[in-house]
Amino acid sequence: MKGFINKIQHYSTKDGPGIRSTVFMVGCNLRCLWCANPESMLPGYKLIYNRQKCQRCCSCVRVFPDAVTMGKDGCIINREKADFDRLCDICPFEAYEKMGFWMESDELVRIMLRNKEFYGSSGGVTFSGGEALLQSEFIEECMDKLHEKGIRVCIDTAGNLPWERIERVLKKADTVLFDLKVFDSSKHLQLTGCDNRLILENLKKTDAMDKELYVRMIIVPEYNDDINDLKARIDFVRNFRSLRQIDFLKYHILGVGKYRQLGIEYPVKPVGEVSEELLKQLQEYCGDVRSTVGG
Ligand code: SF4
Ligand code: SF4
């Protein structure tokens, strides 16, 4: 079986316990306004245009006048008309990059095996996204093969899929990172394009599976940093029997440049940093529940 992947990152320490290789799958069924991975969120191949690398030589404009024109800030690309492969071939300065590739499960396992010694007893492979579980059959096949080789597998999910579609693969995972973005359902709909009833149900069901469960809460100032909503999220999971840890993730602006490279408008208005005071309050509110703060 083949999976459609955006990128593979090795030696990650942010995608589950230990040292991990993270596979970023393409496609997501949420549209979080603050998404830092638009290249994983949106379906299909993407064309990245790196303005810093572009030397304004106009080779691409001459060959594809219908798809590329030169503006005062660099190339203006009509991605509907652009031939991604040929644009990448034509540019002598590698300003174009096509993102997204298909990979067989055997090939993916072979790559992961190269890093097995770094994983140790707690690390392994994480499937993230986008929404990794949109490709649950592929992940399940990879997971079976990775388990045969003694490699632990973690799934990072926002959990917005029918339970029948994700139950089997979650049951096989060693660790689950479950994102809980907003507690209030109508606010969730407003900020992610979908309400969270299914997500909350699935989170409860995942807890009942006795996995290593990490619940992750992104905090975006002025969007989902209401203290009462955050406390409601904590209260929802604090007595879960599988909960290992709550991770508070501070919003960062690293995604902004990616939107520009993809020619998409960034939907979040400029916001400040998450206050240390809020993070301290939240960690105190967690009480006996272990919590961390990350970016
Ligand atoms: S071919 Fe490359 S360097 Fe030349 S204008 Fe196009 S993107 Fe820029
Ligand atoms: S769930 Fe993750 S990948 Fe999907 S839109 Fe939200 S932040 Fe982006």
Q: How many domains does the chain have?
A: 2
Burial class (CB in 10 A: 0-12, 13-18, 19+), 134: buried
Alpha helical stretches, state H, the chain:
38-41, 59-63, 84-90, 105-113, 116-119, 136-148, 163-172, 185-192, 197-207, 227-237, 255-262, 276-286
Query: Can you tell me the mean pLDDT for 124-129?
Result: 97
239 shares a domain with 191: yes
Give tens-digit pLDDT for 140-178: 999 999 999 999 999 999 999 999 999 999 999 999 999
211 shares a domain with 181: yes
Quick check: 101 pLDDT over 90? Answer: yes
Quick check: 5 pLDDT over 80? Answer: yes
Contacts with 232 (C-beta within 8 Å, 6 or more apart), sequence order: 183, 184
Q: Left (φ > 0), alpha (ψ -120 to 50) or beta: where does 108 sit? A: alpha
Nearest CA to ligand 1 atom 6: 60
Q: Residue 252 — pLDDT band, cuts 50, 70, 90?
A: confident
Strands 153-157 and 96-99: unpaired
Compute the distance from residue 31 Cα to the ligand 2 centre, in Å. Answer: 6
Ligand approaching nearest to the C-alpha of 64: 1
User: Which CATH number fits the domain that encloses residue 86?
Assistant: 3.30.70.20
110 shares a domain with 139: yes
190 shares a domain with 65: no
Q: What was the pLDDT predicted at 292?
A: 97
Query: Does residue 128's CB lie within 6 angstroms of at least one atom of ligand 2?
Result: no
User: Which CATH number fits the domain that encloses residue 225?
Assistant: 3.20.20.70
Ligand approaching nearest to the C-alpha of 130: 2
Quick check: 271 pLDDT over 90? Answer: no
Quick check: 295 pLDDT over 90? Answer: no
200 shares a domain with 233: yes
Query: Can you tell me the mean pLDDT for 261-271?
Result: 88
Q: What was the pLDDT predicted at 233?
A: 98
Write out the two tokens for 112. 């992961």
Work out the widest C-alpha separation in the chain, in whole angstroms.
64
Residue 41 CA: nearest ligand 2 atom is 3
**What does pTM read for this prediction?**
0.94
198 shares a domain with 227: yes
159 with 196: CB under 8 angstroms?
no
Query: Can you tell me the mean pLDDT for 69-86?
Result: 96
Compute the distance from residue 36 Cα to the ligand 1 centre, in Å. Answer: 26
The residue with tokens 């899929």 is: 161
Q: Residue 73 — pLDDT band, cuts 50, 70, 90?
A: very high
| Beta-bridge mates of residue 219 | 250
Quick check: 269 pLDDT over 90? Answer: no
Query: Can you tell me the mean pLDDT for 223-241?
Result: 97
Distance between CA atoms of residues 55 and 35, nearest Å:
30
Quick check: 1 pLDDT over 90? Answer: yes
Compute the distance from residue 94 Cα to the ligand 1 centre, in Å. Answer: 8
224 shares a domain with 280: yes
Compute the distance from residue 39 Cα to the ligand 1 centre, in Å. Answer: 21
Residue 57 CA: nearest ligand 1 atom is 4
Q: Residue 253 — pLDDT band, cuts 50, 70, 90?
A: confident
Ligand approaching nearest to the C-alpha of 249: 2
Q: Residue 75 — pLDDT band, cuts 50, 70, 90?
A: very high
Distance between CA atoms of residues 22 and 7, nearest Å:
8
Q: What was the pLDDT predicted at 254?
A: 79
What is the residue range of 89's domain? 50-99
197 shares a domain with 78: no
Quick check: 205 pLDDT over 90? Answer: yes
Percent with pLDDT over 90 in the chain: 94
Residue 61 CA: nearest ligand 1 atom is 6
Query: Can you tell me the mean pLDDT for 31-39?
Result: 93
Q: Residue 91 — pLDDT band, cuts 50, 70, 90?
A: very high
30 shares a domain with 6: yes
Count of residues for the chain?
295
270 vs 93, more confident:
93
240 shares a domain with 109: yes
Q: What was the pLDDT predicted at 64?
A: 96
